[in-house]
Structure 1
């Protein structure tokens, strides 16, 4: 959602916005290439296919029956913890268990925030609202200063060839050697450095 909102801001270019940073660039060809793809493109296509066929059930459930899911998650702290913990396992840069990427207390803090505020259902319903309003990863060319950081265990890693077509005004590009989908949570020092490197050249603009 952060990537989606930032991307929309860059498309709208409101006064005062001078650049954005993404670590999940919305650069997905439609249709996906079936022939002539290079290695990076093939890896991205394979990751997106795995996400759609093996890892995307949660998203379809959120987008189609968020309340059905929301009631049991709001009734069972164990169920809520399992639902979120599985994503920490699947999407962090870990060695088999999410505890190798995130401290257990930090994960529990995150899960507890959902529990105490009773926001499991509303966080799922966001997917439904996006689906109703035509959310798509293909929002068009973003002719605006954009910095991009690619973390190795992201859900999928957009190859540079796709990124250049969507973000022609690229001010920062870096492929890091560790970190996953929750990059700012997993690797706060690395993520902070990426932001500094990205915006250093535009701070005085």
Structure 2
């Protein structure tokens, strides 16, 4: 594929598998089928050198005025502490290995296809098990396909022969990673959900299970509500009841959830309002400054994870840098932010999900929905779980528990269909 033009339609660093005159891949990859093309990722050395040069020349502000605070939320009260950022920037410049990330994506299996005029990149790990069920996993912001990197293999080919297996599909949202950047408005969650149905059909999966968190949870809800003929059931860490519900009848814990969620949207969601109203403006800094991009994303990993101080208590620095570097090399800081412009507060108030649903509310997530509210939208909750640990990124924070919970939730969903 060529380097991206100003419209961003060709992702940086990707190449299609080369074919001979007979159409057979020279590198052993499968030929295109139903418009699906094998895909490989290779950033240029020039781009990686440029990144390191920019990191070395970064202009940083003075330290926060709460410097010296004890470890905990107070130390992050003004955002990413300077000392922490300096440490991550140093590792990013001198120790981080992007090539190992590229190789890992290749081992899982990468592909692209064009749906509704837009190129969509995705991972596809087909299980060796004959009894495997198709499963699509959808990420959100500020993460990417990196959200599921550590769980794909275990979901596809579990070490325990008695555990369920899945044919795993992990698409990059439009404007994220190696998917194309939309050149016009209209790529909101409803359109993305429809594209996912088309994608799964092209892969030979007319019916499938779906999981998601953050925007991926919103899209998974739309999948279950709009496409019950294709979606066997859903599992999500995001649930949103219809508007206008009261706290009457809620337990004390559920009232606390509602209060915490309201506080989050009133006092800690400036990033969402910025991206929903002026994504282009913030996008210039995110695409031009790797340190600015890192701080914008690291702040959310810190605040939204189940940790006492640093996100690196549960998520490796390299894994977060995989995510940030993917944004940087693909220049998707602005295009990814636009999902807020397209879809913020857009979930149809009248949408109802009648397919079996499994919902997990992790304790340190930023938005938790009381079950009575969730039941107004998700009409057939086959399993409701509230783990003891985990935050907004459970597949990265507590991957073993996440896999177990996802398996149990999807098993309950499938059992509910019998």
Matched, 1:56 2:278: no
Which protein has the bigger strand share?
Answer: 2
Q: Partners in 1 of 2:220 and 2:386 — Cα distance?
A: 20
Task: Output the CA distance in 2 between the equivalents of 1:42 and 1:121.
Answer: 36
Residues 174-185 of structure 1 aligned to structure 2 (within 5 Å): 174-185=385-396
Instruction: Identify the structure with bigger relative contact order (alpha carbons < 8 Å, sequence gap 6+).
Output: 1
- Return 5+ residue gaps in structure 2 as ranges: 1-214
- Assess if the C-alpha contact under 8 Å between 1:23 and 1:150 holds in 2: yes
Distance in 2 between residues matched to 1:165 and 1:35, nearest whole Å: 14
**2: distance between equivalents of 1:14 and 1:163?**
18
Question: Which of 329, 336, 339 is residue 123 of structure 1 equivalent to?
Answer: 336
* Larger of the two Rg values belongs to structure: 2
- Mapped partners of 1:30, 1:135: distance in 2: 12
Moved over 6 A (4+): none
Call closer, same or farther: CA 1:117–1:92 in 2, change over 3 Å.
Answer: same
Q: TM-score, normalised by structure 1?
A: 0.90
Using the TM superposition, give the Cα deviation of residue 166 of structure 1 relative to its aligned residue in structure 2, in angstroms: 2.1
Q: 1:148 to 1:13 in 2, by over 3 A?
A: same
Structure 1 position 36, deviation (Å): 5.8
Question: If each structure's helix is expressed as a fraction of its own residues, which one has the higher value?
Answer: 1
Corresponding residue for residue 196 of structure 1: 407
Aligned partner of 1:88 in structure 2 is 301
SS in structure 2 of the partner of residue 18 of structure 1: strand
Q: Is the partner of 2:384 in helix, strand or coil?
A: strand
- The TM-score, its normalising length taken from structure 2, stands at 0.46
Looking at structure 2, the residues matched to 74 and 88 of structure 1 have their Cα atoms a distance apart, in angstroms, of 19
Give the unaligned 5+ runs of structure 1: none
Q: Is the 8 A contact 1:66 1:124 kept in 2?
A: yes
Root mean square deviation of aligned Cα: 2.0
Question: CA–CA distance in 2 between the matches of 1:195 and 1:30?
Answer: 27
Deviates more, 1:10-19 or 1:189-198: 10-19
Q: Corresponding residue for 2:186?
A: none
Q: Work out whether 1:163 is the aligned partner of 2:374.
A: yes
Change (3 A) 1:139 1:109: farther
Shift of 1:90: 0.7
Between Structure 1 and Structure 2, how many residues are aligned?
Answer: 202
Kindly provide the CA deviation profile for residues 145-202 of structure 1, in whole angstroms up to 9, marking residues without a partner as x: 1011111111122122222222221111111011111111211111111121122241
Structure 1 match to 2:107: none
The residue that corresponds to 2:40 in the other structure is none
Of the candidates 20, 27, 31, which is equivalent to residue 234 of structure 2?
A: 20
Change in Cα spacing, 1:90 to 1:199, as seen in structure 2 (3 Å) is same
Any idea what the Cα deviations from partners look like across 1:12-70, whole Å, max 9, x if unmatched?
1253321010111122x522536664313321221122212221100000010000000
Instruction: Please give the alpha-carbon distance, in whole angstroms, between the structure 2 residues aligned to 1:14 and 1:104.
Output: 39
